[in-house]
Amino acid sequence: MSAHSSVMIPNYRIRPFKPEDLEAVERINRVFLPENYPSYFFMENYRRFPRSFFVAEDEGGNVVGYVMCRVESHYTKSETLILGHILSIAVSKDHRRKGIGEALMLKAEEGLLSYNCDAVYLEVRVSNEPAIRLYEKLGYKKLGIIPFYYADGEDAFLMYKILREGLDDSLIYQALGNRVIR
């Protein structure tokens, strides 16, 4: 399946973000996440990494969730890793617990693979147990805690998943370990 095909889950469709989705994505970001981004941030990530920005829409074509990623270079002692960074993912409250978050994550990973990412990482509030459970179900591991990551002072777990077969976890720690306490 290509990064630009749509994924079907009952009553929903995952498809690539389009600029005309911006208003709906911003609304979901503002309403359901305490971390809000300006319009240009969404559009800049779309412009640079269009194959890793997806929306979920219901049968009426309404955008009910999104995932936005970027691709970063991180250095280790032995090589440069290409890491996908899941910057933001959200699903409208009325549409949660229906597999949309999981489908968005899988689609994001597929898109990040198209950029030759070695691994993917994200930050998640230590109190967000449903999200942490989902990420662990999808194979993400906790690298450590980023103290006071969020504006309200809450800590984040930095979680990662290796995409390149044979990549050692120690390289992820070399690349990102300076951001966390273990």
Give the strand pairing for 119-125 and 63-75. Answer: unpaired
**Quick check: 65 and 29 in contact, CB under 8 A?**
no
Mean pLDDT of 71-87: 96
Give the strand pairing for 141-146 and 156-162. Answer: antiparallel
Kindly report, residue by residue over 17-42, the tens digit of the pLDDT: 999 999 999 999 988 877 778 899 99
| 3 pLDDT higher than 50 | no
| 4 pLDDT higher than 70 | no
Question: Residue 37 in 3-state DSSP?
Answer: coil
Percent of the chain with pLDDT over 90: 86
Report residue 58 as tokens.
Answer: 């219901």
Report residue 177 as tokens.
Answer: 């370990």
Cα–Cα distance for residue pair 153/94, rounded to 1 Å: 28
Cα–Cα distance for residue pair 98/155, rounded to 1 Å: 27
**Quick check: 74 and 83 in contact, CB under 8 A?**
yes
**Domains in the chain, please, with CATH?**
7-179 (3.40.630.30)
